[in-house]
Structure 1
Amino acid sequence: MTTFVTLTQEEASQLSHEILTRYGYSRPHAAAITRNIVAVQRDEGHSHGLYRLISCVETLRRGGVSPDAVPRIEDTAPSVVRADANNGCSLLAFEQARPLLLDKARTNGIALLAINNSFHFSALWPEVESLAEEGLVALAMTPSHAFVAPAGGSRPLLGTNPLAFSWPRPGRDPFTFDFATSMVARGEIELHRRAGKSIPDNWAVGEDGLSTTDPEEALRGAMLTFGAYKGSALSMMIELLAGPLIGDVLGHETRPATAENSGRPWHGELLIAIDPHKLLGDTMHYHLEHAEILFEEVLAQGARLPSQRRYEARMRSKETGINIPEALYQELTMLRDAPL
């Protein structure tokens, strides 16, 4: 049975910041990474929460991220912002480009942010949710390393290629979803491996191309897309929009950082922000309230809205603290305290 350790949000943030700065991340990068992963952990997103500190340190040790890179933000067109992360973490690039993206969306009705040359490991929903909290409709996507076989194939070619969307709701938390176009995020398989648990037989195939329930075999083989050809098509769309369209690479042209420093883990991210007021003018409030009918009808059937569980977890964390598995907490404290 898994036992948990409870931390306040401040304790979780301090632990994250101490680990990141101890191993060489600059304070701006450590702060941006901490804000993201603590928010995800607060919402009980275990695969992208504090657990990700381990890969942040490992990637840095293997030369896969520039820990003190200064993003270069460019105003390239009336509705376009570019952010060159300079092989640094994508999160700081997003935070520094966000004010200009907001300004352009409010001025022109729509704006795009292209983040290039970035190390991306994190959940996308905090980014789109932060834009929806400003009254914008937001979409984000990024390719990742070739871990996933296209539908009908058996070898890794596509990334897990997540897609995130957020819709502003008057007086309520935004409607937000964030999911991989693979059956699950790769982190979920890694967590099953760490816990010694099997995985469902529709998540991945082994190196022989056959379905497997062994997470070790799955990590050596290929993950599967959700919805067969539909998920595969969406994954390919994300590869194109957040790759060649913004002047960046395809997922299979990247490689995770390795102990031999031979990896190339940097790629792109595309965000789209839309201002409903520019589309609707004085009728915007009517149409946003009209949209609430859809959410009400979903709930009336006893169904759950995407993001509903996260917001419930957020409230629990505010009341009782942030819970992480005791084994992970011990691993993180050892990482913080071990001699360099």
Structure 2
Amino acid sequence: MSHSFNEMVQLAYQGLRAADIAHDAAADTALFLALAEADGLASHGLARVAQYAGHAKHGRVNAQAKAKVHAYKAASAVVDGQDGLAFPAIKTATDLSVRLANSQGVGVVAVKNTHHFGVAGHFTEAAARAGYVSILLGNTPAAMPMAGGKKALFGTNPLAAAFPVKGKDPLVIDMSLSAVARGKLLVASKKGESIPEGWALNAEGKPTTDPNEGLKGLMVPLGGDKGALLALIIELLAVGLSGSQFSYEADTFFAMNGNKPRLGQLLITIDPGLSGAATYNKRIAAFLAMLASDDGIRLPGQRRFAQRAQAMRAGVTVNDTVVLEINSGISKRWTN
């Protein structure tokens, strides 16, 4: 069954409110989850409603949290998510970083005490559409080993960057540092499907095609040791500058019981007019022209935007299991 964008927002919102999550947090979160579905990123879409609701019911998320802003210096600040869902806090941080970049040339905002933050590129895209270069990175519960190690130490630690393009959609580069996003294992589990070998390892460190075994084990780092070292950089930036918990201190998202993850993110927003707005626009245009001369090139973010446009016209077929799960949670208020 196809769902319109507004129907997906309402379904996610009702599912979150049934877990007593505050109106504003539920509304912000539902919007981003529906946008992930529209972009074809089901691993970060409505499949997360039951997870977030369960965490709220089991005390892993502060359902009534309101983000607090602490100014530091002229171009920097810290946003405390107060152990709530991440979306309201990072939305606040994104808006703040844009305002700082507008007045100071750059805005650096660390975010602390948050939760799973969905599609990182959605926040950088918003800043880029406002005319700013934007970078967002953050840590997640431990799922990958350090180079040469066998213990889960780092999260999949997403990284996104977006660059405004005059008169066109921005360039949005968005990736996690595991071979695939861990949420893809969640989707495969809900569908009862296997996963390709090379995505994950089981608890004994052996390759597995069972998504449930992969969720209990390790994710394979993107590019091997280099991916693990990039995850280390993000870990130190996200935690060191925000005062949040390291990935190994946060219990997995894929269990209802556990601690408050208290993860961290870092936003860096830059006014592209450092060398003059005209210069930036000219250099970006020249690069895009060079890319266009190479047949088969796909610009980062363009497939996502095309998928979104199609979804806004025709709706999205949401996994039946996910819809039933949310509706059941609404009727039972996630008591089971």
Task: Give TM-score scaled by structure 1 length.
Answer: 0.92
In structure 2, the CA distance between the partners of 1:294 and 1:51, relative to structure 1 (3 Å rule), is farther
Stretches of structure 1 that go unaligned for 5 or more consecutive residues are none
Same amino acid, percent of matched pairs: 30
Residue number among 44, 49, 53 corresponding to 1:48 in the alignment: 44
Matching of residues 310-325 of structure 1 within 5 Å: 310-325=304-319
Residue 187 (structure 2) pairs with residue 170 (structure 1): no
* Counterpart for residue 114 of structure 2: 118
Stretches of structure 2 that go unaligned for 5 or more consecutive residues are none
Residue number among 140, 147, 153 corresponding to 2:149 in the alignment: 153
Q: Distance in 2 between matches of 1:90 and 1:278?
A: 31
Q: Distance in 2 between matches of 1:26 and 1:208?
A: 40
Aligned residues: 334
In structure 2, the CA distance between the partners of 1:33 and 1:294, relative to structure 1 (3 Å rule), is farther
* Counterpart for residue 229 of structure 2: 233
Task: Give TM-score scaled by structure 2 length.
Answer: 0.94
Deviations along 1:152-193, one digit per CA (max 9) or x if unpaired, are 332211101111111111111111121110111111112222
Q: Distance in 1 between matches of 2:223 and 2:160?
A: 17
Amino acid in the other structure paired with 1:314: R
Amino acid in the other structure paired with 1:210: K
In structure 2, the CA distance between the partners of 1:168 and 1:259, relative to structure 1 (3 Å rule), is closer
CA RMSD of aligned residues (A): 1.9
* Counterpart for residue 3 of structure 2: 7
* Counterpart for residue 332 of structure 2: 338
* Counterpart for residue 104 of structure 2: 108
Residue number among 203, 207, 213 corresponding to 2:209 in the alignment: 213
Amino acid in the other structure paired with 1:76: Y
Residue number among 277, 282, 287 corresponding to 1:291 in the alignment: 287
Asked whether the equivalents of residues 55 and 257 of structure 2 are also in contact (C-alpha less than 8 Å), the reply is no
The SS at the match of 2:46 is: coil
Matching of residues 17-166 of structure 1 within 5 Å: 17-166=13-162
The SS at the match of 1:246 is: coil
In structure 2, the CA distance between the partners of 1:140 and 1:238, relative to structure 1 (3 Å rule), is same
* Counterpart for residue 247 of structure 1: 243
Instruction: State the shift of 1:315 in Å.
Output: 1.4
Deviations along 1:26-49, one digit per CA (max 9) or x if unpaired, are 111011101211111111110001
Amino acid in the other structure paired with 2:316: I
Asked whether the equivalents of residues 151 and 224 of structure 1 are also in contact (C-alpha less than 8 Å), the reply is no
Q: Distance in 2 between matches of 1:262 and 1:310?
A: 34
Instruction: State the shift of 1:261 in Å.
Output: 5.0
Deviations along 1:231-256, one digit per CA (max 9) or x if unpaired, are 11111111011011332221112113
